[in-house]
A and B are shown apart, each in its own frame.
Chain A
Amino acid sequence: MINFLCKQLYIIWSQLVTLWLVFTHIFKKADTVEYPDQMPYMFPRWRGRIILSRDPDGEERCVACNLCAVACPVDCIALQKTEDENGRWYPEFFRINFSRCIMCGFCEEACPTHAIQLTPDFEMAEYVRQDMVWEKEDMLISGTGKYHDYNFYKIAGKAIGGKGKGEARNELPPIDRRSLLP
């Protein structure tokens, strides 16, 4: 009996304490960030809207290797490879369906040329669903994005117009194997 009464009193006491504790919270500062008026700080490595960057010389970085399309878990990247007169590969079209993209960033990790990059922008709402499909012209920026010095064709061994075999950075001139013959 005594036990029971004590327990009941304890229950009532705990309810009163709850009321008091919740009441004290009215004097605390609200945690709310009033978003459109007050922009939250977006971290540079935030995975948001996707861009295609250019190399330091202002050429398109993307070489249309399709690695990003393969890595994409929701298959929302579509592109078609083509070549210019110098032998540089580039995408004829490059299309991302942002209504499917889950902003996982796998494409950025898969890309060998740092072409495709995710940015801190997240305000991508559209009124028409078709507007969620972005073309290369919508995504291609004029700068280098997060990686300033990287220039794929300056490093890779592939010969293009104006840069022959063996002229890439850290690359030795090709060896004429026949000259090694005794």
Chain B
Amino acid sequence: MFEFVVGSPLNIVLILGAVLVAAALLIWVERRVLGFLNERLGPNRVGPWGIAQSLADVGKLITKEDWVPPFADKLPFIVAPIIVPVVMLLSFAVIPIAPGVGIMDLNIGLLWVLAMAGLGSYSAMLGGLASNNKFSLLGGLRAAGQMISYEVFMGISILGIVILSDSFNLREIVEAQHKHGWFVFPQFIGFIVFVIAGLAETKRWPFDLAEGESEIISGFNTEYSGMKFGLFFVGEYIGMLLLSALIPVLFFGGWYAPFGLELPNAIISGIFWMCAKTGCWIFFFILVRAALVRPRYDQLMNYGWLVMLPLSLLNLLVTGAVVLAQGN
């Protein structure tokens, strides 16, 4: 049997492969689940249940003309789509999947994720600016404003967890939840703010204002075609996967089984429960996409700065006060 050590080459290869396959599958899963939610069937033609739909999509994207518009700013235009998937994959490095399964055991894991999310916003910004097109510019501006403001609350909302678990290390946060119970209960407000900010961060519905098909064609990726568009696309799905994996780690006890439903092998149990929890969140995000409508941009901003920021600060303040009062 293999020895699972955090950061071993086997781990890296397996996790990278799993994440990429999962992201590709998500393209199909999302459309299928959306279909069911809309009382349709979704793509079910390619392979059994349509499972090879992603392959067909990738084939289509690769064989399409990879066109750089003559009026675009070449270098940033080409760099922009590369940033998203790279950054999102890098964030995955710190996600603890099971005891001994993970790529990096970073002491500043949480900060790393936030930093990478911050870098990710460059992709939409650069893409929007470099396209040299009105709609792309609008999309890029929206993306910049939205991602930078929601990053603020995203950071503040999880500081409560850092106080409670006394660590930035994601593994220690999971261990702390094993000891004290899921953080979703003491940190409920932080949890809500984090989920909403995370949605805005990954530019997923209903916060897809940066793309907003019905308003600005396709926003920052209007001018993109072929595999460059594919990279944006895959990056978005890896981002969704990352968010869905981060929420269980931070709030729902990570790889530890709920209600003592532990499987015999610690690693298998860990992987199973992590995947199950991640899957639930992925489903939730697809449900949100199917159900909720996109807010107006000023509503988004008002809501962010006037509701989310005070809420998250209040949460931080109360958590800090309680922890201080208990005298550690």
Q: Which residues of A contact B (CB under 8 A)?
A: 15, 18-19, 21-23, 25-26, 28-32, 34
Determine how close the nearest CB of chain B comes to the CB of A16; give it in whole angstroms: 10
Q: How far is the CA of A32 from the CA of B41 in the complex (A)?
A: 6
Chain B residues lying within 8 Å of A21, measured Cβ to Cβ, are 291
Considering only CB atoms, which chain B residue lies closest to A33 in the complex?
B41
Interface size class of B (residues with CB under 8 A): 10 to 19
Q: Which residues of chain A are within 8 angstroms of B33 by Cβ–Cβ distance?
A: 26
Asked if residues B287 and A32 are in contact (CB atoms below 8 Å), the reply is no
Interface of B is mostly: helix
7 residue pairs, one from A and one from B, having the closest CB atoms = A22-B291, A32-B41, A18-B291, A26-B36, A19-B291, A30-B41, A22-B290
Which residues from A are CB-within-8-Å of B41? 30, 32, 34
Shortest Cβ gap from B27 to chain A (Å): 19
Neighbouring A residues of B39 by C-beta, 8 Å = 25, 28-31
Interface presence of B288 (CB below 8 A):
yes
Minimal beta-carbon separation of B313 from chain A (angstroms): 18
Q: Please tell me if B17 contacts chain A, counting CB pairs below 8 Å.
A: no
B40 near A22 (CB under 8 angstroms)?
no
Interface pairs (23), CB distance under 8 Å: A15-B292, A18-B292, A19-B287, A21-B291, A22-B37, A22-B287, A22-B290, A23-B37, A23-B287, A23-B291, A25-B37, A25-B39, A26-B33, A26-B36, A26-B37, A28-B39, A29-B39, A30-B36, A30-B41, A31-B39, A31-B40, A32-B41, A34-B41
CA distance A32 to B39 in the complex (A): 8
A-B contact count (CB 8 A): 34
* B residues in contact with A31, CB < 8 Å: 39-40
> Bound state CA distance, A23 and B280, in angstroms?
13
Residue on A nearest B307 in the bound complex, by CB: A8
Q: Is B35 interfacial (CB 8 A cutoff)?
A: yes
Point out the residue from B36, B38, B288 that lies within 8 Å of A19, measured CB to CB.
B288
CB A34 to nearest CB in B, in angstroms, measures: 7
CB distance from B44 to the nearest CB of A (A): 8
User: Within B14-60, which residues are at the interface with A (CB < 8 Å)?
Assistant: 33, 35-41
Q: Is the CB of B292 within 8 A of A19?
A: yes
Knowing that A22-B291, A30-B36 touch, tell me 9 more A-B residue pairs with CB under 8 angstroms. Answer: A18-B291, A22-B290, A23-B37, A23-B291, A26-B33, A26-B37, A30-B35, A30-B40, A34-B41
Min Cβ gap A13→B in Å is 13
Partner pick for B40 among A15, A18, A32, CB 8 A cutoff: A32
A25 B292 Cβ-Cβ under 8 A: no
Chain B residues, Cβ within 8 Å of A23: 37, 287, 291
Smallest Cβ distance from A27 to chain B, in angstroms? 9
CB distance from A40 to the nearest CB of B (A): 15
Closest to B44 in A: A34
Q: How far apart sit A26 and B34, CA to CA, in the bound complex (Å)?
A: 9
Q: Given the complex of chains A and B, what is the CA–CA distance between A34 and B40 in angstroms? A: 10
B284 — nearest CB in chain A belongs to which residue? A19
In the complex, residue of chain A having the shortest beta-carbon distance to the beta carbon of B33: A26
Smallest CB separation, B302 vs chain A (Å): 12
State in angstroms the CA–CA spacing of A22 and B292 once bound together: 9
Query: How far is A23 from B33 in the complex, measured between Cα atoms in Å?
Result: 10
A22 CA to B206 CA, complexed, in Å: 14
Chain A residues near B35 (CB-CB < 8 A)? 30
Residues of chain B within 8 A (CB-CB) of A22 are 37, 287, 290-291
Name the CB-closest residue of B to A8.
Answer: B307
Cα(A55)–Cα(B20), bound, Å: 66
For B291, the closest partner residue in chain A by CB is A22
B 279-323 to A, binary, CB cutoff 8 A, 1 in contact else 0: 000000001101110000000000000000000000000000000
**Residues of the B chain whose Cβ atoms lie less than 8 Å from the Cβ of A15:** 292
Shortest beta-carbon distance from B288 to chain A in Å: 7
Give the complex CA separation of A34 and B35 in angstroms.
Answer: 14
CB distance from A23 to the nearest CB of B (A): 6
**What sequence of 0s and 1s flags, for each residue 176-203 of chain B, a beta carbon within 8 Å of any chain A beta carbon?**
0000000000000000000000000000
